[in-house]
Structure 1
Amino acid sequence: MDAGRRQILGLALAIIAVLGTIMICALPAWKVLISTSVYPVEIYGKWYGLWKICTIYTTGKMECVGYEVFPQLVDDTMKATRALVIIAILSGIFGILLGVAGNKRINFMSDDGQKRKVGFASGVVFIIAGFLVLIPVCLIANITIREIYKLRYDSSDSIKLGASLYIGWFNTGLLFLAGGLLLYRQE
């Protein structure tokens, strides 16, 4: 595969990963609490996200409330997770802009040496963005798994990893792959 096609493939993967990172930032599916004692409260489950908590009732109705209502739930871990995900989104967008500017098939710069350097910088930014997504996803997964084991015998409720964590791991892999494709030696 020539360098131009490799760069376009890397940019396409990075765009998908950045869109996925925006999606995990917005979705309230980082942690899922499923209630097995349905009768008294009629609550089936809760979905926890970075910005809001959604309650699902047995009737199928979903009601979402921001964390402003529950300020005790927003701790330093949640603030750090939010910050890292937002920085990952911004650095991913910056990496896409660098990747477009340094693409061999686009005449944004006339010097091939500068294009190579900008393409290399784009790959580095994508790898950094991958780590910025991986850290909060693994942190929240670790906290959730600890809660799963803590509540295993004490409660009738069950806690599960949310879809945003799985999407975050997939996005991390795409960002690493995109960065690797752009870092690969360009002829």
Structure 2
Amino acid sequence: MLSSAMQILAFALALLAIFGATVATLLPNWKVSAEQGPNIITAISQMQGLWMDCTWWSTGVFSCTLKYSVLALPAYLQTARTTMVLSCMVATLGLCLAALGLKCTRWGGSHRAKGHTAIAAGACFLSSGVLCLIPASWFTNEVITSFLDSRVPESSKYEPGGAVYVAFVSAGFFLAAGVIFCLSCPGKRGGQPESGSSHPDKALQKQLYQEQLRRREQQPRLQPPPDREEPPPPPRDKDVKAGYSLQDYV
């Protein structure tokens, strides 16, 4: 029962992680311009994402420009695009496997098959977490390094945006869901492989029956004492009647 509740919690965390990773991939605020310039009247706010660059003007105009050229992008930005898309795809596959591996559902086969499916779903979630954590960490490192560089002008410095934090939280949810799914269905219990039945009481009854047989085999067997003479069988009625003569009846 506890394992089923933990699996449901992990499934909910995986759903939130997929939603957060998808939103973080599409958001344009992976890095936001730092407001340190001397010109405060214009108050231009610039945002850069994985797919577009947006500018918010003080007059209220908001404009975005798509990044059409892939080869012109830096290496960390190309890596972030690829890994975030792969993270969402692998997580979707893990979510389908997790729906079949839940113990509280009837589809998915036997108990052993459900355990293997749940472990596969946990592996997908762990991979998605790593794929989501790599671009977020690399992107943050590049932004902080550029911000602390004295050769970069103040107007060209950026800070990590909200999409980076969403990616970090989604990666944490992916890793937590993957660990729970991998640990909720162990392959063996008590040195005996799991039975194909989905009912846990049958496996317990089988173990108890094997223990009783083992105890009976260990008990010493009682043997009859040697040189024991068996009593003769009692005489039959027809033999007794045969011993009487006809004179006895006269």
Both proteins in one fold, TM over 0.5: yes
Which residue identity is paired with 1:27?
L
Matched residue, 2:34:
34
2: CA distance between counterparts of 1:33 and 1:184?
Answer: 43
Q: Residues 72 and 59 of structure 1: is their aligned pair in 2 closer, same or farther, counting only changes over 3 Å? A: farther
Pairs within 5 Å for 1:124-163: 124-151=123-150, 154-163=153-162
1:76 positional shift: 3.1
1:154 positional shift: 3.7
Q: Residues 104 and 72 of structure 1: is their aligned pair in 2 closer, same or farther, counting only changes over 3 Å? A: closer
1:3 positional shift: 1.4
Matched residue, 1:54:
54
User: Any stretches of 5+ residues in structure 1 without a counterpart?
Assistant: none
* Conserved 8 A contact 1:38-1:44: no
* Runs of 4+ that moved beyond 3 A: 37-40, 70-73, 151-154
Q: Residues 76 and 156 of structure 1: is their aligned pair in 2 closer, same or farther, counting only changes over 3 Å? A: closer
- Using structure 1 for the length normalisation, give the TM-score: 0.90
Q: Higher mean Cα deviation, 24-33 or 54-63? A: 54-63
Once the two structures are aligned, what percentage of the paired residues are identical? 24
Pairs within 5 Å for 1:1-80: 2-35=2-35, 36-38=37-39, 42=42, 44-68=44-68, 74-80=73-79
Matched residue, 1:107:
106
RMSD: 2.1
Q: Residues 3 and 65 of structure 1: is their aligned pair in 2 closer, same or farther, counting only changes over 3 Å? A: same
* Conserved 8 A contact 1:37-1:157: no
1:62 positional shift: 1.2
* Conserved 8 A contact 1:151-1:157: no
Which residue identity is paired with 2:139?
I
1:73 positional shift: 5.1
2: CA distance between counterparts of 1:34 and 1:95?
Answer: 38
1:186 positional shift: 2.8
Larger Rg: 2
Which residue identity is paired with 2:49?
G
User: Any stretches of 5+ residues in structure 2 without a counterpart?
Assistant: 187-250
